[in-house]
Every structure is written in C-alpha cells, then in structure tokens.
Structure 1
C-alpha cells in the first residue's frame, strides 16, 4: 500500500509517541501479541520518517480517542513572503525601540558564564571489540541474544570496520523481514519487507566459536594473502544448510576466502592466486 506521506518526510518525537500509543492500545485489545508489540515498538522508536511509522499501524483498528495522524507537509512557498515581511517589520520595530531606549538605560553587568575545561574531562569509553575477531564475535552474539531473545538470523555479515548488517523475520510473522545495522547497538535500516515463509535460517547458537575463532585468526596465512586481514565474515543458510564464509584481503586487493560449517569444519577453500 502506497504511503500518503512523501518518503522523506521526517518523523517528530510526538509522531513516534503517538504511534507507540496506538501499538499499546492494539496490544491491550488483542490485535497484536507481546512479541509483535515489542518488535514494532522498537521499530517505532527508531523510525526516521512518517512513512516508516505509517506501515507499522496501517492495518490496526484505532480507538475512538486515538491521537490524530500527522498531516502531510504542505507547500509553504506561497506563504513565506508575507511571513518574512511581518518578521522583518517586527525586527525593525524592536531595533528602533532599543536605540531610543538605550540612552536612558542604566549600564548592567552581564554575568560571565563559568568556563568548562573539556580537556580535563575523562571520556567514557564502552569497549566494542572488532566483530571479526574471536572476542568480537562473542560480544556481538551476547548483545544479539539480549536484544532479540534468540540467535536466529536469515543472514548476517560482520565487518572489520566494527559494524554488522543482518536480516531476520518479525516475531510470529514469518512473511515479514526486518534489516538491521549494528554499531554497538541494533538499528532498523528500513521498514519491514516481504519475506518467503520458508526462508532458511541460521541458528547462531550452533556455532563452535572456539574452533571458528581459531580459524579466523589463522585465515590470512591459510589463504596465502600477503599482509592480509579478515575483511568480513558472513553467516548464510540455504537448502544445503548453514555456511560461515571468511574473507581475507590486503591493501593491494589480493584476496581469498574459505567456507566452514557451523562446527568449524572446512567446506571449501579459495586461496589467493589459485
């Protein structure tokens, strides 16, 4: 269904609050279940545009006291000139009054704001290890489980730059998929999209992290990439089962990759130069 809002119309805090209130009401009268309510509320809190919010509540029945929908933006071009003239007139009047009144005004002392030495403030640093290291993979999985309550994904890619991207089904809605970006926390990267209900999934709880972590550390040597580093690790599933793929490259774009099963056993190896 096409949205009645332009795709780039930004959502306000009040719009997110109103959408959350509608989701609460829908949960209260049984239109959505607890898992749906939790997932959709997270999406509402992170929504960037009015269209993102609309897709979450477009099929809900609304209570009689529901807050009004946000109005689509109007063309303000024809209104700006009179408003600008009025503002200019007010500014001119205030300026004239200030000039006349300043001759009789008594001098006042303006208090000086206390200066803060920001260099002396110790920054708070939250450790987020590189997700393509053994430690980083464990931290990511812990945060993923804490966020979603399980370790199920459609696909996942961890990047050397410290971020990740993933796709997973909405709770109890296997025909809907949400994409997330990870940069220490999980943020929906777009609104839910259609998903095949029989899409294979990867249960990350089946990973032998110790064995896979050791393979990751030795991958540049195993793949024969001079001065290589692991660039990204992908986790995908198809009809043949789940696969972990480790990719190595260097500054000259010389590269190789290998594929493992969740236990860490090698499936195929594609070294550099072969």
Structure 2
C-alpha cells in the first residue's frame, strides 16, 4: 500500500494543472483578484513539491472546486535542543556566513588592505557611462501599446506565433511551444520585455496560431466599449479588471483563425464580448 504523500513529495504536472484549475475557480467566484490569480498561477507552474502547491490554495474555500489536491501528512516536529543550544548554533552559523560573504565581496571588488576597511569605495569613481532610458510600450490596451507589444514579440521570437495570450492594461502573458519538448509549452510574462519563461504541460486544446492575425484597431474599440456593452457602468470598472484574451478558434470550419474575448468586471457584475479577428461579434455574456 502506497504511503500517504507529504508536503515534501515532488509534484507532478497533473498536480500543477489541478492547482491552476482550483485557482481559476477561486477567481470565478470572487476569492481572488485577477492580479492575485495571475501571480499564483505563475508560482503553481514552477512549484516543485505538493507543499508548495498546497500553500497557494490554503487560504481558499475549495469545497466546490472542480478538483482537489491530495491530503498531506503533517511533517513531524523536530525535537528542541536541550539548554537552548539550537539558537546558539544558528547564530554561530549566521556569523560565519556573514564573514564569508564579506570576504568574498572584498576579494572580488576591494582595493584596500582589509575587507573591513571602507576608506576607498571603487564604486564611487566616475565611469563616464551615460544612463540608458528605455521606453517600451506599457499601456497595452491602446492602439499603439497593442501594436508595440506585437512588435516586441517579433523582435524577441522572430514571429507572433503562439497558443494563446492574455493582455492586461500594463502586462501580458504569452504561451508558446517549448522547442526542447513537444509535450510542453512555455509561459512568458511581458512587462516592458519578455521575462524568462516557466514551463508546463501542453493540453490537447493548445493549437499553434498567429496571435497577431486580427484587426488591432477594432479589438481596442470593442475592449473599450465592453463595460457598456455588457450593461456595466464604466466608472465602476477598475482598469485592472479589464483584459483581452486571444485564442485559436474552436470552429473546425475556420482553422487557423482567432477568437478574441474582451472581459470586464466590477463589484456589481461581470461580462465579456467574444468576437472574431475581423471584429465580428460571436456572443455577449453578462454575469450578475
């Protein structure tokens, strides 16, 4: 009979995917904001143990979630060291590490006779290097920002291909194939540039398409009018609660085309407008 799993048990891809489904459920019923959801999903895809995954959902109500994580054994408590010797040992180790770090730093960068001599700071010397000011697109839900994001994709990857992309006001999340393993996909977060990716298992719904194959100006217009379209007061919708998803169409008669969805929410309801790449509206959903 297999032993019950503990917090230190290595997580499988299925465990990571189940955690993401639980987080999706928590977002849908209002337990998480979109920013919290995005952050936790990113952590879930990189988690190594079941304990790491459990910590991402421990404060959530998960009884109605579509899946559940396995119950974990509690880790046994370590016995206390007699006479308080444990704290003394920890302090001694900390002191050694600090001294070791200072010595390494001085050895690499110091120009004095001692690592504790700070009479001459090599970093204080003028190096004549001017500051380089970067101006990447940040307002991504505008015509210039969205076109700029797509151009950043071309510069970073050489194309605009991917499985799907989610575009928030100031950042985006992009999923692309993992060139080293066809069973997996890479998740890139864009914040003025594309960060190093995390990896996760690819699902059967992942279809590679050109994520730039849509009318950008029309998409921006639909996104900006989405609140009123679904019956919400635009003044009640916070900027961070508006986002655009770009996915491959599920219509087998038009392979390679895109389905876009403008999503909005407020304290008084939420909704979405689903449309094709040319702006043709497919459906309008409202949720009270």
For normalisation by structure 1, the TM-score amounts to: 0.50
Aligned pairs for 1:210-229 within 5 A: 210-226=217-233, 227=235, 228=237, 229=239
1:262 to 1:174, Cα distance in 2 relative to 1, 3 A: farther
Aligned residues: 171
* Residues 165, 211 of structure 2: 8 Å contact kept: no
Equivalent residue, structure 1, for 2:178: 170
Distance in 2 of aligned mates of 1:112 and 1:182: 36
- Structure 2 gaps, min length 5: 1-8, 11-45, 49-85, 100-118, 125-129, 252-256
Distance in 1 of aligned mates of 2:185 and 2:135: 30
Equivalent residue, structure 1, for 2:264: 248
* Residues 138, 171 of structure 2: 8 Å contact kept: no
Q: CA shift at 1:129, angstroms?
A: 2.8
The one-character-per-residue Cα deviations of 1:206-250 (angstroms, maximum 9, x if unpaired) are 111121122222222222211235611111225425310101123
RMSD (CA atoms): 4.1
Distance in 2 of aligned mates of 1:125 and 1:171: 30
2:202 pairs, out of 170, 195, 205, with 195
Q: CA shift at 1:125, angstroms?
A: 5.8
Q: CA shift at 1:179, angstroms?
A: 1.2
- Structure 1 gaps, min length 5: 1-5, 8-48, 52-77, 92-109, 116-120
The one-character-per-residue Cα deviations of 1:153-180 (angstroms, maximum 9, x if unpaired) are 11111112x1111211024853331111
1:244 to 1:171, Cα distance in 2 relative to 1, 3 A: same
Q: CA shift at 1:140, angstroms?
A: 0.8
* Residues 262, 272 of structure 2: 8 Å contact kept: yes
Equivalent residue, structure 2, for 1:145: 154
For normalisation by structure 2, the TM-score amounts to: 0.48
Aligned pairs for 1:22-37 within 5 A: none
Equivalent residue, structure 2, for 1:258: 273
Q: CA shift at 1:122, angstroms?
A: 9.5
Distance in 2 of aligned mates of 1:256 and 1:193: 29
Distance in 1 of aligned mates of 2:139 and 2:157: 21
1:237 pairs, out of 235, 248, 271, with 248
Equivalent residue, structure 2, for 1:44: none
Give yes or no for the alignment of 1:130 onto 2:139. Answer: yes
The one-character-per-residue Cα deviations of 1:1-58 (angstroms, maximum 9, x if unpaired) are xxxxx99xxxxxxxxxxxxxxxxxxxxxxxxxxxxxxxxxxxxxxxxx9x9xxxxxxx
Distance in 2 of aligned mates of 1:257 and 1:220: 8
* Residues 179, 189 of structure 1: 8 Å contact kept: yes
* Residues 164, 247 of structure 2: 8 Å contact kept: yes
